[in-house]
Amino acid sequence: MGEQVLLIVECLSRSSRRTDYIDEPAEHGKVDIPHSTRVDVSYERARVELLELVGGEYRDHPRAHRSALPRTDLPSPDARSRGTPLS
């Protein structure tokens, strides 16, 4: 499955923090999904975290708060979008 899925996006919930931060990333890592994005809207403004699978675990990549847009040089299916804001 992982070789077909390049990115998974999670919308976090206050009621399921353990599942969102521990259980689900572990499951996604087991099937080698290379990138994950967490969107947390429990703050005044949404927080977006980009994560990269390294050695079977997701590691922080750029993070954006408030009105900032995260930028990344991670590969994407469309190489023209590399290094541009994710929107």
pLDDT in tens, 24-67: 999 999 999 998 988 888 767 778 888 889 998 998 876 655 56
Decide which of 75 and 50 is more confident.
Answer: 50
Q: How confident is the model at residue 6 (pLDDT cuts 50, 70, 90)?
A: confident
Query: How far apart are the C-alpha atoms of 72 and 75, rounded to whole Å?
Result: 9
Is the pLDDT at 12 greater than 80? The verdict is: yes
Cβ-in-10-Å burial (0-12, 13-18, 19+) of 7 comes to middle
- The count of C-alpha atoms lying within 13 angstroms of the C-alpha of 64, restricted to the half-sphere facing its C-beta, is 18
Is the pLDDT at 87 greater than 60? The verdict is: no
Decide which of 81 and 75 is more confident.
Answer: 75
Q: By three-state DSSP, how is residue 40 classified?
A: strand
